[in-house]
Chain A
Amino acid sequence: MLKTYLLIAIFLALLPYCVRSEIPDLKIANGTETKQGVVKLDWTVSGQNSLENYELQEANTPSFTQPKKRYDGNDTGTFISGLKNGTYYYRVRKVGDNWSNIVSVQIKHHSLTLAINLLILGAIVFIITTALILFSLRNQNK
C-alpha cells in the first residue's frame, strides 16, 4: 500500500515538469515597454525538435477574445514592427498543443512634438554645416 502511495506521489511531483516541457516558454527580448513600436519575441521548448510547427497569436486583451495569427512555422522567434500605441498580448503553442504563458508589451511612441522639434533641429544643423562648406569653398576660390 505504502509503495503505491509513494509511486503516486512521485508521479504527481513529476507531472508538472512533464507537461511544462511540451509548452513553449515565451519571452520578450527587447523589454516590455517600447517607444519605437517594435517587439522581439523568442520561445524555447525543452527537448525541442527543429521540425516542430508553432503558432503565435497576438491580441489586445489578455483573454484573447479576438486573436490574430502572427506567425505559423518552425522558427523559435519573430520580430514585429510598426505597431501603434497600445498594449499587445502574445502567446505561442506547438500546433495542436497547449498555449504558452502570455506576455505583454506596451507601445508608447515618442511625442510628435519632440519628434518634430528634433527633425527641425537636425535640418538646421545640416543646413548650417552645408553652408559652412559651400561658403568656405567659394571664399577659397576667390
Chain B
Amino acid sequence: MTNNSYIISPSIGWLILAVLSILWLGLGLYWGRKAKNLEGHMLAGRNVGMALGTATVMATWVTSNTTMLAPQFVLEMGVWGMLAYSTAAIGLLLFAPLAKRIRTLMPKGYTSGDFIRLRYGKPAWIVFLFISIFYSLIWLISMGMAGGILMNAIAGIPYALGTTVIITVCVGYTLFGGLYAVIGTDFIQSVLIMIGIVIVGFGIYHVFNFDTIYSDLENNRPMLLNLLFPAALMSIFNNLLFSLGEVFHSNVWWSRTFALRKEVGKKAYTLAGLAWLPIPIAAGFIALASDSLGINIVRPDMVGPLVAANVLGPTGAVIVFIVLFCSLASSIDAVLAAISDLITQDIYRKIFKPHATDQELKKFAAYIIVLVGIVALLLCLPRIGTLASILFFAGPMVGSTIWPIATGLFWKKANGKGALWGMLLGSLCGLVSYFYLGWYTSSLVGATVSMLTVLLCTYLFPSNFDWEKLDEPTT
C-alpha cells in the first residue's frame, strides 16, 4: 500500500523542514521572553488585538482538517462533501457571540473546564474534562499523522520521521513561548497559508478543464455527482454539528477568547469564520480532478496535497509543503497549549495544589506539553485509519457538548443533571451510530440526544443559577 511517485526529492523536503523548524523554534524562544507570569504564558496577557486575534483563530481552524480532510470529504462524498465541510465556518460564526458572553461572565477565567465546574458542578466537570482531553488528543493524533503522511507522499520522507519532526518542533516552541509564541507564529503561518492557497488556486484554475472533470467523474465515480447520495446527505449536518461542538467546548477556542481583548473576540471570530469559508471549498474542489489528471490516490486523505503538488510541479509542491506544514503547526501548537492549560488549571491546580505558585504551574504546564507530545507521537506511529475515521471517532462526544455549553451560558434554569446526562447519553448513542451507521452520522446523533436530554432535565429540574458565581477570584 504505497505511493511510489514522490514529487520533490527527500533532500529538498528535509531542507524545507529544517528552515521552517529553525524559524518556529527561534520565534518561540524570542516571544517566550514576553511571558513574565502565568497569565502571560497561558493567555498572552489577555491583551491580544484584532489582527493577531483574527489570524490566530483562522490559522488554527485551517488545520490538516481543512487542507487534507476537506479534499478527502469531496473524494468520498462528492459535491455535497464540499458543502458539508464548508459548514464548519458556522462553528466560528456562532461562537462569536458566545465569545463576548464568556468574556463578560468570566473576566478572570482560564479554561472551558473552569466554566463547566462553576456552572454545573463536579460530576459534569469530570465527564467534560474526559471528553475535552480525549478530543484534543484525537485532534493532535490526526494532525501528527497528517504531517507524516504529507511529508512521505510529497518528499518521500519516512512517515515516522516526518511525524516525529513536526510534533517535536511544535512541542519545542510551545514550551518556550507559551500562547505568545502560538499566536505570533499563527499570524505568520496564516499569512503564508493565504499566499500559498492563492498561488495554488490560480495555478490549478489554469490547468483544469471542467468538461473533462465532469465526464471523467460521470464515468468513474458517478455517485460523487449524485445529489441523492445517501451517505453524503447524512454528512452535511453531521459535519456542521461536529464543528459547532469542536469550537463550543474546546479549550483551544476558550483560551483565545480569554486572551483576546474584551471588545475584540466577537469581531475576530466572525471575521475568521468568513475568511476561512472559501478555503475548504477551494481545497475540496481539486479532489474531483484526480481522475482527469491521471493521479492515483492510495490514501483518500492525501488527495488534496497530491493533486495540488502534481499539477503545479516541483515548485508548486514546495509551496504546498510549506502551506501544509504551517497549517499543521498552527493547529498542533494550539492544541498542545490548550490541553496543557486544561490539565494544569483544572486538574493540578484545582484538585492537587490549590496554592501552587505561578512558577510551579508554569513548570507543570511545560511537563504536560512534553508528555502530551510524547503520547500523541506514540499513538501516531501505528497509523491506524484515515484522518476522517480517526477525527470523527471523537464526534459523538464533541456533539454532545453543544447544548450543555450553549444553555449554560444563557439559561439560568440549565442544570448539572442535564449537562451530565446530555454528555453521557449523547456520547453513548453517537458511538453506537458511529459503528452501525457510519462516522458521518455520529455527531448528529450525539448532538440530538444531548439536546433532548438537556431540554428534558431543564424542564424537570430547573435550577436558578447565580451568574456571579462564574466570576471566580484567582488564587
Contacts and interface: CB of A to CB of B under 8 A. Distances in A.
Interface string A115-136: 1101101110110111011101
Interface stretch (B45-53, B123-131, B197-205, B222-230): B222-230
B406 A133 contact: yes
B3 A75 contact: yes
Given A75-B2, A75-B298, A125 B438 contact: no
A32 interface: no
Interface stretch (A15-23, A33-41, A93-101): A33-41
* Chain B contact residues: helix, strand, loop or mixed: helix
Contacts of B230: 35, 109-112, 114-115
A81 B224 contact: yes
A115 B234 CA distance: 5
Contacts of A118: 233-234, 237-238, 441, 444
Contacts of A137: 97, 101, 410
Contact of B94 (A79, A81, A133): A133
Interface in A48-84: 50, 71, 73-84
Interface residues of B, number: 51
Contacts of A46: none
Contacts of B300: 38, 40, 79, 81
A92 to B, nearest CB: 12
A115 B410 contact: no
Contacts of B437: 110, 114
Interface string B259-300: 000000000000000000000000000000000000011111
A37 B407 contact: no
Contacts of B5: 73-75
Interface size class, chain A: 35 or more
A82 B75 CA distance: 8
Contact of A121 (B3, B299, B444): B444
B75 A81 contact: yes
Nearest to A134: B97
B222 A110 contact: no
A8 interface: no
A82 B296 contact: no
Contacts of B237: 118-119, 121-123, 125-126
Interface in B58-97: 75-76, 78, 94, 97
B222 A78 contact: no
A130 B82 CA distance: 22
Given A75-B2, A118-B234, A119-B234, A136 B444 contact: no
Interface string B219-260: 011111100111101101110110010000000000000000
Contacts of B402: 129
Contacts of A140: 101, 410
A54 B304 CA distance: 24
Contacts of B229: 37, 109
A116 B231 CA distance: 10
A9 interface: no
A122 B411 contact: no
Contact of A82 (B224, B298, B438): B224
A79 B299 contact: yes
Interface of A: 29, 35-38, 40, 42, 50, 71, 73-84, 109-112, 114-116, 118-119, 121-123, 125-126, 128-130, 132-134, 136-137, 139-140
22 contacts: A35-B438, A36-B440, A38-B300, A42-B1, A73-B296, A76-B2, A77-B3, A79-B75, A79-B298, A79-B299, A82-B217, A110-B437, A112-B228, A115-B230, A115-B234, A118-B234, A121-B237, A122-B236, A126-B240, A128-B451, A132-B410, A137-B101
Give me the 3 closest cross-chain CB pairs, A-B, nearest first: A122-B237, A82-B221, A136-B410
